Amino acid sequence: MPHPGITRLVSAFMYHSECYLVLEYAANGDMFDYLQAHPSGLSEGEAKRALGEVLAALDSIQQQGFVYVDLKPENIVITSTRHMKLTDFGGARPYTAEAEKEVEKSRHAVQELRSGDWKYEGSDDGSVEAEADHFDESELDSTKMEGTTIYMAPELLRGQYPSVASDLWAYGVVMYQLLTGRPPEWADAAADEEMEDKIVHFGGADAGSDERLAGLSSDAQDLIKKLLNPNPDLRPSIEEVMNHPWFAGMDIGDLYLEPVPEGYFRPVEKVQT
């Protein structure tokens, strides 16, 4: 997926019957660690810059016929130039016929990689044949559900296939978290089952019942409310999010061509937990 907001695959190799992917290095860590150093959340200006770049990457993923599925702060990495990139596409799913063909090509490529002759460190003759029967087709099952519960849309928890709308729900959760320092109310659940129940029965974001939203601008509140609509059919499209008043004056398509404002996303010491 060629886009400046998507982590580039540098190489792939096989070692002891396992396939490894080498991705480009993100020198400044990820958004999760950055939020750990900013427990009250980011300023709206800084959050807007990060979310604008993430939105541009999601738009590119959608245009290529895929849904991302696992958007969360841990999967937003920060480069040496302080731009955002999405990483970890293990959960991504195709939703067009053309994208499905690309998945098939990738499936065959992985099978070939696993069944080739490869040099193993310490082998007697310099190479051994990888055991093809160790390959599990279920690892590339496009129907197997992926994702992180906190960021999963209600319809996903009801068993529906991922969609652009479910990606935008996760985007709304991340927006909420960047601006307040914490995910929405369901993140406080003691167990996954309770969390899933809270998400499925979530009635919508509202500043009147959520004091953390009350401190945000009216435009930020409005966009979060629209993104966290329990009905996927009523959530905005990516284009509508780009044109929302909260992003007024920001050309999201050009963000990767512009320097990041001084002071945004500066390296932080990783918080030990």
Domains of the chain: which residue ranges?
A: 27-93+145-256
Predicted confidence at residue 271, as pLDDT, reads 53
Q: Where are the alpha helices (DSSP H) in the chain?
A: 31-36, 44-63, 97-114, 154-157, 164-180, 192-200, 211-214, 218-227, 238-242
pLDDT attached to residue 207: 64
**Percentage of the chain with pLDDT > 90?**
62
Per-residue model confidence (pLDDT) at position 118: 43
Q: Quick one: pLDDT band at residue 5, thresholds 50, 70, 90?
A: very high
> Is the pLDDT assigned to residue 18 strictly greater than 80?
no
Tokens of 47: 């959050």
Residue 245: pLDDT above 90?
Answer: yes
pLDDT at position 128 is 35
Asked if 9 and 23 count as a contact pair (C-beta separation under 8 A), the reply is yes
Name, of 124-128, 132-136, 145-149, the range with top average pLDDT. 145-149
b/e 106-132 (16+ beta carbons within 10 angstroms → b): ebeebeebbbeebeeeeeeeeeeebee
CA–CA distances in Å: residue 67 to residues 146, 247, 272: 12, 22, 33
Tokens at residue 256, please? 């990767």
Q: Position of tokens 């709308």?
A: 165
* CATH number for the domain whose boundaries are 27-93+145-256: 1.10.510.10
Model pLDDT, residue 44: 98
Answer with the residue of higher pLDDT: 124 or 271.
271
Rounded Cα distance, 72 and 75, in Å = 5
Q: pLDDT tens-digit profile of 19-72?
A: 777 888 888 999 999 999 999 999 999 999 999 999 999 999 999 999 999 999
The confidence score (pLDDT) of residue 130 equals: 38
Rg, Å, the chain Cα set: 20
The pLDDT, as a whole number, for residue 25 is 87
Burial 67-101 (b: 16+ CB within 10 A, else e): bbbbbbbebbbbbeebbbbbbbbebbbbeeeebee
At residue 15 the predicted structure's pLDDT band, cuts being 50, 70 and 90, is confident
pLDDT for the residue 134: 40
Name the pLDDT band for 13 (thresholds 50, 70, 90).
confident
Question: Are 33 and 271 contacting, i.e. CB atoms less than 8 angstroms apart?
Answer: yes
Average pLDDT, the chain: 85
Give the separation between CA 180 and CA 205, rounded to whole angstroms: 13
Rounded Cα–Cα distance for residues 77 and 81 (Å): 11
Rounded mean pLDDT, 259-267: 93
Structure tokens at 27: 């020198």
185-210 pLDDT tens trace: 999 998 999 999 999 999 888 766 78
pLDDT at residue number 48: 98
Pairing of strands 93-94, 117-118: unpaired
